[in-house]
Amino acid sequence: MPANYNIMIGSSTNYGKLSVTAPTNASDTSGITFNIYGNTGTTLLSGVSASTLAAGTYSEVITGLSASNIASSSLSGTFPGGFNWQLAANGNVIGSTTWDLVVTAPQAAPQATLSAVSTPSSITVSGTSTLSTTGGSGSGNVTYSLVSGPCTLSGATLTGTGAGSCIVTATKAADSTYASATSSQLSVGVSLAPQTTLVVATTTSSINVNGTTTLSTTGGSGTGAVSYSLISGPCTLSGATLTGTGVGSCIVTASKAADSTYSSATSSQLTVTITASASPSTTIGAGSSVSVSNLGVNPALSGGTLVLNSGDSSTVAIAITNSSGTIQQPTSGSATLSGVFSGSGGLTFIGNGITIFSGANTYSGGTTVSGGTLVVAGPSPTGTGDIFVATAGSLMGTGTIAGNSIVSGVIKPGNSPGHLSILQNLTLNSGATFIEDIAGTTPSSSTTPVGATGYYAVLNVGGQLTINSGVTLTPRLSNLFSSGEPGYGSAIYVPVLGDVFRIATAAGGISGRFATLTQPAELTSGTQLLAFYNVNNSNSLDLAVVPTSYSASLAGSTPAVVSAASVLDQWVALNKAGTATATQNQLLLGVASQTAANLSAHVQQNAAQILATAAATAPIPTLSQWAMILLVSLMGMLGFVRMRRGRQPGFAGDIA
């Protein structure tokens, strides 16, 4: 007769017990074995082996079960044959009986409240915190999890990687008695790290009224930008330059901005004393040097030196005596003098920097640029005297130079492409360089906007332009504009066939030629710049774009064009050598003014004249030259080639 039995897991020491209540006179001669299903093996119900089970209760230990792995499962076992049940009312029943044992897994005991702890409770970027726990129960291992936030977690070490909050939890694993437990979330704040102490400093702790000092910093951390603040005092502050405007004390601070690692920092205050200026110098005599900030009222240069610093800008009028004077240009950067310089003396500019000279000056003693760069602007920046540019000096800019000019260094019309006028003669000595900026096909004039693209530079000479041997012409196509000009960042202009740039004119004519014409690297392959001097008595200097080989450009054309192309290549070589005749240069410039689309037709139209000129200038024309001339002439009479009387379109006469 089946019977139901329950096994309950009672404690950690007894995994469970089977309780059997036997009827009177029940007997069996063998042991009883139960198989456990759903567990990891066979569990033996041990110790029940009596031959006779008297009425009563028998309790035996079930081995192989644990609170951590047992689940609700069924246990079943079979008594072997020979087990006798004696029932009072019905007599003996002999046979096997199956007993079903139901195992119910107990719930593991809950742990005490588990809490995660961070030491320290907050960190900075790149700082670390050690995690630990309080509470919990049992012997289970503790692990930690990063839920969110700008941190990394390695074991129990939390590292901040950015500012914010990092959320973590702790978990304590179960053991044989206690279930696993997870803590509530713990927030660990991560802040930017403080910078090292920021200190503001100055090149001098005391300056005169109108004097300047440069601020700087030491210390601080990270990549944040440094800025300066004027707290109080009779000063002005521009960037890092502090300028005294009155007697007193100026208090400044420096700040270094935050970055991804460090918070912002502000220095302690720095005091700069402003004292009364020394008595302004009225006369700057021989052996004395005076800065712009110490110029007196109506100062005079009389053999002394006016010292310029980068960023100086003066509108003070200065007289120049017969003893003349020197202007020391900034060691770097630029300075501006826009006041009127007058008197009978002259000026010598020395140094390596740049001076922008733009006053309506009237001094008559002349100007010498021994070093650095003199940038002129306005109607009379160099007064009425002559100007000499030494080998280490440069002259550039716009406006008008009244006197004769002799250049052994660099001359460049315009700051970018611009227009410069020299009313008298200009002489370029050996070693000089003429820089020509080209940003378009429109010639610059006195009304051209400064720094505009689309123009090319023009030099206008009122007298004669003399080019001595050893002078270089350097056309430029790129890096023409400064950051403050409208043309800055614009695409470069690359000259094409047909472009002719009249870069200089001289009312008194042009003598000599450039020894070297530097070809810009940006030119299109197969093209070059060629210089033409006084073509058609134009008193001009022209730069034209021509093929590097007419023969290659016109290959496959008619025999007449091919023959003329060969002649044109010879004339290009003669032009470069300075031995081309006036007629050759005239015809060559006419061809150079043609676009790529018109080139072949133009050469076909003028082949007879080109070949005839070539034959006429040859010592003894060859039979083939005469034959080609006669052939082209015959074609012209038959109407194949239209020869026009008089001046022909596209020749140099159309340009002058």
State mean pLDDT over 372-398. 97
Give CA–CA dist 411/417, Å, rounded.
Answer: 13
Of 53-67, 178-192, 521-535, 569-583, the least confident? 53-67
Residues 130-152 have a mean pLDDT of 96
* 3-state secondary structure (DSSP) of residue 656: coil
288: which 2 tokens? 């004395």
Contacts of 129-133 with C-beta under 8 Å, sequence gap 24+, read: 129/157, 129/158, 129/188, 130/156, 130/157, 130/158, 131/156, 131/157, 131/158, 131/168, 131/170, 132/156, 133/170, 133/172, 133/183
Q: What token pair was written down for 402? A: 């009244």
Highest mean pLDDT among 69-78, 270-279, 355-364, 636-645: 355-364
Residue 644 has pLDDT above 80, yes or no: no
Confidence tier at 117 by pLDDT (50, 70, 90) = very high
CATH topology of domain 198-275: Immunoglobulin-like (2.60.40)
Q: Pick 314 or 43 by higher pLDDT.
A: 314
Q: Give the pLDDT band of residue 74 (cuts 50, 70, 90).
A: very low
Q: Where are the beta strands (DSSP E) in 136-260?
A: 142-148, 151-154, 157-160, 164-172, 181-182, 186-191, 198-202, 206-208, 212-219, 226-232, 235-238, 241-244, 248-256
Specify the 3-state DSSP secondary structure of 93: strand
User: At residue 97, does pLDDT exceed 80?
Assistant: no
Segment 252-281 mean pLDDT: 88
Those residues whose C-beta lies under 8 Å from the C-beta of residue 153, and which sit 6 or more positions away, are 144, 145, 146, 159, 168
Q: How far is it, in rounded angstroms, from Cα 223 to Cα 256?
A: 9
For residues 205 and 383, the model is more confident at 383
The pLDDT, as a whole number, for residue 281 is: 61
pLDDT at 629 over 80: no
The confidence band for 41, taking pLDDT boundaries of 50, 70 and 90, is very low
DSSP code per residue over 284-352: EETT-EEEGGGEEEEEEEEB-EEE--TT-EE---EEE-TT-EEEE--SSSEEEE-SPEEES--EEEESS
Is pLDDT at 571 greater than 60 in this prediction?
A: yes
391: pLDDT confidence band, cut at 50, 70 and 90? very high
- DSSP letter assigned to residue 364: -
Two structure tokens written together for 457: 């530079």
What pLDDT sits at residue 625? 53
User: Which residues fall within 8 angstroms of residue 605, CB to CB, at 6 or more apart?
Assistant: 641, 642, 643, 648
For residue 364, what pLDDT band results from cuts at 50, 70 and 90? very high
Amino acid at 374: L
Q: Which amino acid is at 491?
A: A
User: CA-to-CA distance for 578 and 493, rounded, in angstroms?
Assistant: 28
Cis peptide before 120 (omega within 30 of 0): yes
pLDDT given for residue 246 in this prediction:
85
Q: Is the pLDDT of residue 64 over 70?
A: no
Q: How many CB atoms lie within 10 A of CB 33?
A: 15
Per-residue confidence at 222, pLDDT binned at 50, 70, 90?
very high
pLDDT beyond 80 at 624 = no
Which fold, 114-191?
Immunoglobulin-like (2.60.40)
In contact, 511 and 539? CB cutoff 8 Å = no
In the chain, the percentage of residues whose pLDDT exceeds 90 is 70
Structural contact between residues 642 and 618, judged by C-beta atoms closer than 8 angstroms: no
| Beta-carbon contacts of residue 246 (< 8 Å; ≥ 6 apart) | 209, 234, 274
Mean pLDDT value of segment 457-478: 98
Binning pLDDT at 50, 70 and 90, where does residue 255 land? Answer: very high
d(CA 137, CA 227): 57
Q: What is the pLDDT of residues 315-326, one digit of tens each?
A: 999 999 999 999
- What phi, psi does 143 have (nearest 5°)? -125, 160
Q: Which helix (H) or strand (E) holds 533?
A: strand 527-533
Q: Is residue 241 scored above 80 in pLDDT?
A: yes
Q: What is the mean pLDDT of residues 440-456?
A: 96
Residue 227 has pLDDT above 80, yes or no: yes
Contact 110, 178 (CB under 8 A): yes
pLDDT at residue 416 tops 50? yes
